[in-house]
Amino acid sequence: MKISIERGTLLKAVSQAQSVVERRNTIPILANVLIEAEGDQVQFRATDLDIEVVDKAPAQIERAGATTVAATTLHEIVRKLPDGALVTLTADSAAGRLTVEAGRSNFSLATLPKEDFPVMASSEYQSNFTASAALLRRLFDKSKFAISTEETRYYLNGVYMHVADGPEGGKVLRCVATDGHRLARIDADLPAGAEDMPGVIVPRKTVGELRKLLEDDDMDIAVSVSETKVRFATPDITLTSKVIDGTFPDYTRVIPQNNTRKLEVDAAEFAQAVDRVATVSSERSRAVKLQMENDRLVLSVNAPDSGAAEEELAVAYGDERLEIGFNAKYLQEIANQVDRENAVFLFNSAGDPTLMREGNDQSAVYVVMPMRV
């Protein structure tokens, strides 16, 4: 195999592939990227056995062929090469070496036979549809902060993507994530062809990798879903992932329906104020107390070992006086999801879950559990 490819194109393709590769591997071949050259394009394939990324790039191919080489090493080399350089990759399968040449630089890397590389079995997808990158980015970006990191409740270690009944009637494409302390429920218009999609739990790592495909607003993403796998594809990159094998809990029971005490506040000001008062709180509890009455909100933290802090905000609140405590980090993360100016919080009592949304927008709803302060 011998190919020539522009450094920028190569870097983009290799960096996408190497980010899937796990740093610590017991199986040596999984640390490698499979390079396959044919026709006028080269494809880079990497996997951790749960996720597979295939990245295609145009190249001048003198000799077609395939080989596998350490993904991180290749990525580091290409990253350090000068901009605009023409990179030549030559594989010598007899010697088990891949030569990387650019200008006066020359590297020789050990390879492993391509036959050993595990290729994910292709499967039948029950549902195939196209969604814009902007739609998918909103669904996953606004929900991923609530993904649980507890390995014991593995079915919460991802975003539950499914078709649901929307708040205004009609079907929507919905993403939900929760860790038991907070929950995010984000809706988007249902793309044509997605009506029969089975609900799947997309793993946390896949959500992180998918984000890299969604940078370009005008890009359309081909989405394929089956009971066991999900695939997202652009013309250049295909990301295939197993889904979490488990049942996502019935989240609708957790979303409060009749919280009547309404607080409206500028989301950015609120997040900054929470951040400021939380500076003195002890790391373990990080509790912030909210006191509301007559269009006033007082945020306070009282940490006996390190001090106290208080800040007052002008808000819209006309219900009876309420005191309620929250984990500062949860409040900040939820307030940071608001794109428009105002966050609307709906409370019931100091012990009940609180609902937050952006203005009157029902398509993004957040729930956070209070804590005792």
Structural domain boundaries enclosing 292: 255-368
Same domain, 84 and 49: yes
Would 121 be classed as within a structural domain? no
Same domain, 248 and 264: no
Would 311 be classed as within a structural domain? yes
Same domain, 198 and 269: no
Mean pLDDT of the chain: 94
pLDDT > 90: what percent of the chain? 89
Same domain, 132 and 240: yes
For residue 340, the model assigns a pLDDT of: 80
For residue 219, the model assigns a pLDDT of: 93
- In terms of average pLDDT, the best of 102-111, 283-292, 335-344 is 102-111
Overall pTM surpassing 0.95 (yes/no): no
Contact 347/297 with Cβ under 8 angstroms?
no
* Whether residue 303 has pLDDT greater than 90: no
Same domain, 259 and 246: no
**Residue at a domain's end among 204, 229, 253:** 253
Residue 227 tokens read as 């009971």
Same domain, 13 and 57: yes
Same domain, 266 and 292: yes
* pLDDT tier, 298 (very low <50, low <70, confident <90, very high otherwise): very high
Contact 109/98 with Cβ under 8 angstroms?
yes
For residue 25, the model assigns a pLDDT of: 87
Neighbours of 101 (CB within 10 A): 16
The mean pLDDT of 6-27, rounded to a whole number, is 93
pLDDT digits (tens, 9 = 90+) for 318-359: 999 999 999 999 999 999 999 887 999 999 999 999 999 998
Same domain, 237 and 266: no
* Whether residue 283 has pLDDT greater than 80: no
* Whether residue 373 has pLDDT greater than 80: no
Per the document, the length of the chain is 373
Would 173 be classed as within a structural domain? yes
Contact 338/350 with Cβ under 8 angstroms?
no
Q: Rounded CA gap, 260 and 103, in Å?
A: 69
Q: Rounded CA gap, 113 and 124, in Å?
A: 29
Name the domain count of the chain: 3
Same domain, 285 and 220: no
Nearest-5° angle of CA 115, CA 119, CA 121? Answer: 130
Q: Rounded CA gap, 70 and 219, in Å?
A: 30
Would 122 be classed as within a structural domain? no
* Whether residue 307 has pLDDT greater than 80: yes
pLDDT digits (tens, 9 = 90+) for 41-93: 999 999 999 999 999 999 999 999 999 999 999 999 999 999 999 999 999 98
pLDDT digits (tens, 9 = 90+) for 179-201: 999 999 999 999 999 999 999 99
For the four alpha carbons of 153, 154, 155 and 157, in that order, the dihedral sign comes to positive
* pLDDT tier, 286 (very low <50, low <70, confident <90, very high otherwise): confident
Same domain, 94 and 167: no
More confident residue, 23 or 45: 45
pLDDT digits (tens, 9 = 90+) for 210-264: 999 998 888 999 999 999 999 999 999 999 999 999 999 999 999 999 999 999 9
Would 25 be classed as within a structural domain? yes
Same domain, 218 and 294: no
Would 373 be classed as within a structural domain? no
3-state SS, the chain, equals: CEEEEEHHHHHHHHHHHHCCCCCCCCCHHHHEEEEEEECCEEEEEEECCCEEEEEEEECEEEECEEEEEEHHHHHHHHHHCCCCCEEEEEEECCCCEEEEEECCEEEEEEEECHHHCCCCCCCCCCEEEEEEHHHHHHHHHCCHHHCCCCCCCHHHCEEEEEEEECCCCCEEEEEEEECCCEEEEEEEECCCCCCCCCCEEEEHHHHHHHHHHCCCCCCEEEEEECCCEEEEECCCEEEEEECCCCCCCCHHHCCCCCCCEEEEEEHHHHHHHHHHHHCCCCCCCCEEEEEEECCEEEEEEEECCCEEEEEEEECEECCCCEEEEEEHHHHHHHHCCCCCCEEEEEECCCCCCEEEEECCCCCEEEEECCCCC
CATH of the domain at 41: 3.10.150.10
Would 341 be classed as within a structural domain? yes
Same domain, 17 and 64: yes
Would 161 be classed as within a structural domain? yes
More confident residue, 327 or 282: 327
Burial profile 22-54: b = 16 or more Cβ within 10 angstroms, e = fewer: eeeeeeebbbbbbbbbeeeebbbbbbbebbbbb
